[in-house]
Amino acid sequence: EAEVAQSPRYKITEKSQAVAFWCDPISGHATLYWYRQILGQGPELLVQFQDESVVDDSQLPKDRFSAERLKGVDSTLKIQPAELGDSAMYLCASSLEAGVLSSYNEQFFGPGTRLTVL
Amino acid sequence: GDSVTQMEGPVTLSEEACLTINCTYTATGYPSLFWYVQYPGEGLQLLLKATKADDKGSNKGFEATYRKETTSFHLEKGSVQVSDSAVYFCALSDRTGANSKLTFGKGITLSVRP
Kindly report the three-state secondary structure assignment for every residue of A32-62.
EEEEEECCCCCCEEEEEEECCEEEECCCCCC
With a CB-CB cutoff of 8 Å, which residues 34-63 of chain B face chain A? 36, 42-46, 49, 51
Average pLDDT over residues B63-84: 97
pLDDT on residue A98: 59
Residues from chain B contacting residue A109 (CB–CB below 8 Å)? 36, 43-45
- Model confidence at A100, pLDDT cuts 50, 70, 90, reads very low
State how far the Cα of A30 lies from the Cα of B94, in Å rounded to an integer. Answer: 19
Residues from chain B contacting residue A40 (CB–CB below 8 Å)? 106-107
Pairing of strands A31-37, A88-95: antiparallel
| B101:A112 CB<8 A | no
| B43:A91 CB<8 A | yes
pLDDT in tens, A22-75: 999 999 899 999 999 998 899 999 999 999 999 999 999 999 999 999 888 999
pLDDT in tens, A74-91: 999 999 999 999 999 999
Asked if the bond preceding A81 is cis, omega within 30° of 0, the reply is: yes
State how far the Cα of A18 lies from the Cα of B45, in Å rounded to an integer. Answer: 30
pLDDT on residue B99: 66
| A111:B51 CB<8 A | no
State how far the Cα of A105 lies from the Cα of A95, in Å rounded to an integer. Answer: 6
Instruction: Tell me the three state secondary structure of residue A85.
Output: helix
Mean pLDDT of chain B: 92
Is A18 buried (19+), middle (13-18) or exposed (0-12) by CB count in 10 A? exposed
Q: Which one is predicted more confidently, A101 or B43?
A: B43
Instruction: Tell me the three state secondary structure of residue B106.
Output: coil
CA B112 to mean position of chain CA atoms: 17
State how far the Cα of B25 lies from the Cα of B28, in Å rounded to an integer. Answer: 10
Instruction: Tell me the three state secondary structure of residue A15.
Output: coil
Q: Which of A7-21, A94-108, B70-84 has the lowest mean pLDDT?
A: A94-108
**pLDDT beyond 80 at B98:** no
Residues from chain B contacting residue A56 (CB–CB below 8 Å)? 99, 101
Instruction: Fill in the DSSP letter of residue B82.
Output: G
pLDDT in tens, B8-39: 889 999 999 999 999 999 998 788 999 999 99
CA nearest to B36, candidates B11, B17, B64: B64
pLDDT on residue A106: 82
Residue B92 amino acid letter: L
Average pLDDT over residues B58-67: 97
